[in-house]
Chain A
Amino acid sequence: MRLGPGTRVGILAEMADGETSGAVSEQAAEGALAYLTEMSPDLRGAAIVGPDGAVLAASGDAGRWREDVAELFAVADGAGGEPVEQIHLGTEQGEVFALRHAGLAAVAVSERFALASLTFFDLRALLRDLVAGAAA
């Protein structure tokens, strides 16, 4: 399923956690992404997406991340009949981790055989820090 610009699903329309009480700045998201990239040796790319589906920070082309992250969550939500909280996909080319938390979403692409629990822990910690920073 390829979504066009006019058919983009609001990926965070139904959130697993509560919404953020304050707006997360792009600067904070970029700092968090840089930190994640630095401490994750298996990470190949990542993006942080805001409540409206806009990319707050991404490695590479933000427009493509926005579209493809929206598509991933749309497909995942449709697969189980309810909004997903976490997505873990493994292929021969690499692994994809996606996580929703408090109105934000973080997506990371890693080498194959990355430690899943650790990656999800890092993504969740990253989003929690961003939410806490925005609320302060």
Chain B
Amino acid sequence: MTPPKPHRVLLDRVSGYADEAAAYMRRRRASRRPFARLYYPGGRAEDHADDSRAGAELFVAAGRLIEIAGKRPKP
């Protein structure tokens, strides 16, 4: 059995890094997606998409609260 040609090793390594980066970007996109979850007595929960009317209103209200809170003061 002959060892792989050096340029193949390099190509495999580069494509491995590219796959890792693509997976990282996918995870990052999913985790940065805005969400709105409402919980009711009894354990019921509802998600509201940001393109729904209720979701849009919730995000506007949340944005105002985030604005009031501002940035965390540095210790």
Q: Contact at A43–B31, with CB atoms within 8 Å?
A: no
Complex: how many Å from CA A87 to CA B60?
Answer: 14
Give every chain A residue within 8 A of B37 (Cβ-Cβ): 87-89
Q: A68-B65, A72-B65, A75-B61 are in contact. Are A44 and B70 (CB under 8 A)?
A: yes
- Which stretch in B1-9, B16-24, B51-59 binds the other chain? B51-59
> What's the tally of chain B residues with a CB closer than 8 Å to chain A?
28
A61 to B64, CA, bound (A): 12
With both chains docked as a complex, state the minimum distance between the C-beta of B71 and any C-beta of chain A, in angstroms.
Answer: 6
Rounded to whole angstroms, the CA-CA distance of A111 and B37 in the bound complex is: 17
A99 closest partner in B (C-beta): B39
Confirm or deny: A78 has a beta carbon within 8 angstroms of a beta carbon on chain B: yes
Q: Which residue numbers of B lie inside 8 Å of A, CB to CB?
A: 31-32, 34-41, 46, 48, 54, 57-66, 68-72
